[in-house]
């Protein structure tokens, strides 16, 4: 059986700024009012014969939305973003050397007050508290849907549900979005 949660009606939303580095029209910091739709396919189990409890799903998705809300989304594994003062072994560099962002993890930015990066000839310095660092190549709807689906799937698996798949659509406002299906 399939259960569905509509992000607009259920309040699974966040408003964030992002940038698609080096893209001709999306390569400027801009924002979206996102909403997140969810579909879960699985067996009906337990005392109540639910696929999953809607409340559990909404709690998990809302917690991700809350983390992203009112922040600039920074995909730290983007090939076009060169981060200053960070290396992939977790130590800050003294010489402001630019390094390949491919291998960076979120932990490499711990204890930093600012995120400094360049995209081609543009340089950015953003307070860390204004950002969310994501272990992604892009902050596109495509990658964000995969990010949500993976976390939701992992969290639901802890609750002993018999789930066949978790699909998440991340919509950049009404009319466009991307869906990712995580299969058990
Ligand atoms: Zn955008």
pLDDT digits (tens, 9 = 90+) for 1-58: 999 999 999 999 999 999 999 999 999 999 999 999 999 999 999 999 999 999 999 9
In CATH terms, 2-74+135-183 corresponds, of 3.30.420.40, 3.40.50.2300, 3.30.479.10, 3.50.50.60, to 3.30.479.10
Q: How far is the CA of 46 from the centre of ligand 1 (A)?
A: 41
Q: How far is the CA of 111 from the centre of ligand 1 (A)?
A: 28
All residues with CB under 5 Å from ion ligand 1:
26
Q: Note the pLDDT of residue 87.
A: 66
Q: How far is the CA of 27 from the centre of ligand 1 (A)?
A: 9
Q: H/E element holding 59?
A: helix 54-68
**Structural domain spans, the chain:** 2-74+135-183, 79-128
Q: How far is the CA of 20 from the centre of ligand 1 (A)?
A: 7
pTM of the model as a whole: 0.91
The 10s digit of each residue's pLDDT in 138-165 is: 999 999 999 999 999 999 999 877 999 9
Which residues are catalytic, by number? 26, 70, 172
Nearest Cα to 42, choosing from 14, 85, 15, 2? 2
Instruction: Classify strands 131-134 and 72-75 as parallel, antiparallel or unpaired.
Output: parallel
């Amino acid at each position: 059986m399939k259960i569905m949660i509509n992000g607009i009606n259920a309040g699974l939303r966040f408003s964030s700024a992002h940038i698609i580095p080096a893209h001709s029209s999306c390569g400027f910091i801009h924002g979206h009012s996102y909403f997140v739709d969810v579909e879960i396919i699985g067996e009906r189990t337990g005392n109540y014969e639910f696929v999953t409890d809607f409340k559990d799903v909404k709690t998990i998705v809302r917690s991700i939305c809350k983390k992203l809300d009112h922040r600039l989304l920074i995909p730290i594994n983007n090939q076009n973003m060169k981060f200053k003062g960070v290396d992939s072994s977790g130590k800050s560099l003294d010489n402001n050397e630019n390094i390949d962002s491919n291998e960076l993890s979120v932990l490499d930015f711990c204890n930093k007050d600012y995120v400094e990066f360049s995209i081609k000839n543009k340089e950015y310095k953003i307070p860390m508290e204004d950002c969310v660092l994501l272990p992604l190549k892009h902050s596109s709807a495509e990658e964000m849907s995969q990010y949500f689906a993976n976390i939701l799937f992992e969290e639901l698996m802890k609750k002993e549900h018999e789930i066949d798949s978790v699909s998440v659509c991340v919509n950049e406002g009404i009319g466009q979005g991307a869906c990712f299906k995580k299969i058990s």
